[in-house]
Chains A and B, each alone.
Chain A
């Protein structure tokens, strides 16, 4: 993840995915380590959404959104 990158990817809370599954998918798809993924999964649950990636180009951000959506997560992209 690039801190100041303009293309941001977020995951939103829903009533379908368990927090355990989100925790796991953030590790395998977003490359977060286990504590980061656990905290981000909690943020998604408690705040309704959390940023899971920031990228310098749109294509990379969209590739992650596609991957997250293919696994059932509610992922979105945005240009900061």
Chain B
């Protein structure tokens, strides 16, 4: 893709608010453009196996499309052959780019819009997969872009299910005493 690499900045914002008609999403122009860019990369990967260029760690080898595919859609069975067969049989569903395409169109169409139930599912798919295209599944990644993806997804979830906010304190206390990210555990004393 010829677009420049986009990164979010500290004065950017992304809000998701529950309203009668659904979820009202508001974001800065730069967040909308950055998200559209990365979701565009996801579409290229799902449709054409194009792996986006790595932006850091120039000494690391560039991942192949197969590497990214296995990270995005991990083995569904313990047996490798059965897992590969699963990935082949369900390739058209796993690699369906309809949802990311709709999300990208919304981002390009403005910085404020309303999401209905179907839109919400599209966003969960796009945000779920775009992170796995850019970042490993294991190992905490504190890059600005990744943190923004977490923020976007959790903001949408809590806006679509306001009752979950009421249970957040218990959840955070039960899980890890502060961090919302599933992979982070409090340091041992």
| Closest residue on chain A to residue B121 by CB atoms | A28
Question: How distant is the Cα of A1 from the Cα of B89 in the complex, in angstroms?
Answer: 24
On whether the beta carbons of B161 and A45 are closer than 8 Å, the reply is no
Q: With an 8 A cutoff between CB atoms, is B148 at the interface?
A: no
Q: Which residues of A contact B157 (CB under 8 A)?
A: 20-21, 23-24
Instruction: Report the minimal beta-carbon distance from A68 to chain B, rounded to whole angstroms.
Output: 10
Question: How distant is the Cα of A42 from the Cα of B140 in the complex, in angstroms?
Answer: 18
Q: With an 8 A cutoff between CB atoms, is A30 at the interface?
A: no
Q: With an 8 A cutoff between CB atoms, is A34 at the interface?
A: yes
Question: How distant is the Cα of A34 from the Cα of B129 in the complex, in angstroms?
Answer: 24
Q: With an 8 A cutoff between CB atoms, is B104 at the interface?
A: no
Q: With an 8 A cutoff between CB atoms, is A72 at the interface?
A: yes
On whether the beta carbons of A77 and B94 are closer than 8 Å, the reply is no
Number of interface residues of A (CB under 8 A): 35
Question: How distant is the Cα of A24 from the Cα of B135 in the complex, in angstroms?
Answer: 22
Q: Which residues of A contact B132 (CB under 8 A)?
A: 16, 72
Q: Which residues of A contact B75 (CB under 8 A)?
A: 76
On whether the beta carbons of B137 and A23 are closer than 8 Å, the reply is no
* 0/1 string, B52-82, CB within 8 A of A gives 1: 0000000000000000000011111110000
Q: Which residues of A contact B121 (CB under 8 A)?
A: 28
Q: With an 8 A cutoff between CB atoms, is B25 at the interface?
A: no
The contact of A15 among B72, B90, B182, by CB within 8 Å, is: B182
| Closest residue on chain A to residue B130 by CB atoms | A72
Instruction: Report the minimal beta-carbon distance from A51 to chain B, rounded to whole angstroms.
Output: 15
Q: With an 8 A cutoff between CB atoms, is B112 at the interface?
A: no
* 0/1 string, B69-103, CB within 8 A of A gives 1: 00011111110000000100010011010000000
Question: How distant is the Cα of A40 from the Cα of B76 in the complex, in angstroms?
Answer: 19
Question: How distant is the Cα of A27 from the Cα of B171 in the complex, in angstroms?
Answer: 16
Interface residues of A (CB under 8 A from B): 13-25, 27-28, 34, 38, 41-42, 44-46, 62, 65-66, 69-78
User: 10 closest Cβ contacts across the A-B interface?
Assistant: A72-B128, A15-B183, A24-B157, A19-B182, A71-B128, A14-B137, A20-B154, A45-B182, A66-B90, A69-B73
A–B pairs, 16, beta carbons within 8 Å = A15-B181, A16-B132, A16-B183, A17-B182, A22-B182, A24-B160, A34-B167, A38-B167, A42-B174, A45-B182, A65-B76, A66-B93, A70-B93, A71-B129, A72-B128, A76-B77
